[in-house]
Amino acid sequence: MTTAKHIVLTGTSRGLGRALVQPLIDRGHTISGCGRSASAAEAFQQIHGDPHRFACVDVSDAGQVTEWAAAVVAANGPPDLLLNNAGVINRGAPFWEISAEEFAHVLTINVIGSANVLRQFLPAMIDAGNGVIVNFSSGWGRHGAADVVPYCTSKFAVEGLSQALADEVPKGLAVVSLNPGIINTDMLKTVWGEGATRFPSAESWALPAVDLLLGLSAADNGKRLSLH
Domain ranges across the chain? 6-226
Q: Which of 44, 140, 151, 205 is catalytic?
A: 151
Instruction: Give the integer Cα–Cα distance in Å for 149 and 21.
Output: 30
Q: Which CATH number fits domain 6-226: 3.40.50.300, 3.40.50.720, 3.30.43.10, 3.40.1190.20?
A: 3.40.50.720
* Helix H or strand E encompassing 92: none
- Strand pairing of 53-56 and 81-84? unpaired
pLDDT at 192 (0 to 100): 65
Per-residue pLDDT of the chain (228 residues; tens, 9 = 90+): 468 999 999 999 999 999 999 999 999 999 999 999 999 999 999 999 999 999 999 999 999 999 999 999 999 999 999 999 999 999 999 999 999 999 999 999 999 999 999 999 999 999 999 999 999 999 999 999 999 999 999 999 999 999 999 999 999 999 999 999 877 666 666 776 777 677 777 788 899 999 999 999 999 999 999 997
Beta bridge partners of 173: 131
CB neighbourhood size of 187 (10 A) = 20
49: annotated active-site residue: no
What pTM value is reported for the model?
Answer: 0.94
Q: pLDDT tens digits, residue range 58-116?
A: 999 999 999 999 999 999 999 999 999 999 999 999 999 999 999 999 999 999 999 99
